[in-house]
Amino acid sequence: MTAKLINGKELSKELKQEMKKEVLDLKEKGLNPHLTVILVGDNPASKSYVSGKKKASQEVGISSEIIHLEESISEKELLEVIHKLNDDKRVHGILVQLPLPDHIVEQHVIEAIRPEKDVDGFHPVNIGRMMTNQDTFLPCTPYGIITMLKSKQISIAGKHAVIIGRSNIVGKPVGQLLLNEHSTVTYCHSRTENLKELTTQADILVVAIGKPRVITSDYVKKGAVVIDVGINRLEDGSLTGDVDFESVSDKASYITPVPRGVGPMTITMLLKNTIKAAKGLAHID
């Protein structure tokens, strides 16, 4: 068996075409969706992510700006910038690029963004709504994963989903979204005993641990759907996932590649959330 690919780059392209039309319709109604991204400091990875977000926004017609702040900015000053954006009617979505410098408490910053402008889906109000299966802004990577599964009509209800990783950004929320879709969910992490015993039961295996190629075919049940969230740069400069693609693709029914897998979907779902925020603030269905 050779696994079929779930190509996030292709799906992202299709979704962006749909969003482009939606944004045009909104502009005809006088609504111009706008995203503001705050970047603190000069972390090269963060700068790259932020420019990717701006480029993707332009592709679908969403206006966007990057506010680049000095690494030395105080938490108080950063919160003041956020409060101004909260009050700015022109701004529909606010995103603060993580990680932040050590002297700034990330949670204070996340909680400062008004929930209706929190297009990253990290505010406790939006997390609470997600937990209770209410309409809200979903965290972008988990939202992208669910969208990828549905794009291939992969059955989720009643299936056993195993998540390796328990971060607040991916592991925990993707498990909750799968639970909301009536999957049975098991969380695994660095202290899980008998990991292989659990992962080989998975109909859907989501891997988000940040270590290159650690999940090999002996961790995977024949016919499982494998979602690889990891992006690791090797010494030769190439990118690889947390899953050993070669061995696992002989056993899985579907697999996401790295690159061109989950990564492109994360930014795409951010754009979707920004359009949703614009419509919500303008009271347009």
Residues comprising the binding site for NADP(+)? 165-167, 231
* The length of the chain, given as a count of residues: 285
CA 41 to each of CA 66, 169, 211, 223, 257: distance values in angstroms, whole numbers, following the listed order: 12, 21, 26, 45, 31
Q: Give the DSSP letter of residue 164.
A: E
Q: Which two tokens stand for residue 105?
A: 């408490």
List the catalytic residue out of 53, 159, 172, 251.
Answer: 53
Q: In the block, which residue shows the tokens 């988000």?
A: 208
Active site residue 53: yes
Whole-angstrom distance, CA of residue 201 vs CA of residue 186: 10
Active site residue 236: no
Q: Which residues contact 169 (CB under 8 A, 6 or more apart)?
A: 98, 122, 139, 141
CA 285 to chain centre: 24
**Active-site hit among 117, 118, 120, 242:** 120
User: Annotated catalytic, 97?
Assistant: yes
CA angle 25, 30, 34 (to 5 degrees): 85
Which positions make up the binding site? 165-167, 231
- Catalytically annotated residues: 53, 97, 120
